[in-house]
A = this chain, B = another copy of it.
Amino acid sequence: MVQYQSSHLDASFAALSDATRRGILERLGRADASISELAGTFRMSLTGMKKHIGVLEQTGLVRTEKAGRVRTCTLGPRSLDEAAEWLERYRQLWHERFNELDKIVEELQRVRRVDAPTP
């Protein structure tokens, strides 16, 4: 599997491809939470939740800190700026392509009008 220099984008998008993980990010956007709180909210074993947090932590989207028994999860230092940037660029390409298509359609319509003018 060839991996040029894009592994971080890969990881960001992969992290977001799971509904539970997106839910966790939204939840942490409102307030910090412990692993067990999150596990409760998303009806999942502690271990399962910890894995999700692990994924989010590795991409830098979540930061955690342990105090005593409880590990508290916060929104992490790394935002999704890169991912958002990529998306924006794609959307631009997409719109360009479709504007082009619009032009072609318009042109076809113009030609058709010339070919067969309304009587």
| A contacts, CB < 8 Å to B | 2-4, 6, 9-11, 13-14, 16-20, 22, 25-26, 28-30, 43, 74-75, 79-81, 83-84, 86-91, 93-98
Contacts and interface: CB of A to CB of B under 8 A. Distances in A.
A86 B78 CA distance: 17
Contact of A80 (B4, B9, B91, B96): B91
Contacts of A94: 29, 75, 79-80
20 contacts: A2-B43, A9-B19, A11-B17, A13-B13, A14-B17, A22-B90, A25-B90, A26-B90, A26-B93, A29-B93, A29-B94, A75-B98, A79-B91, A79-B94, A79-B95, A80-B91, A80-B94, A81-B91, A84-B84, A84-B88
The interface residues of chain A, by DSSP majority, are classed as: helix
**Number of copies of this kind of chain in the complex:** 2
Contacts of A80: 87, 90-91, 94
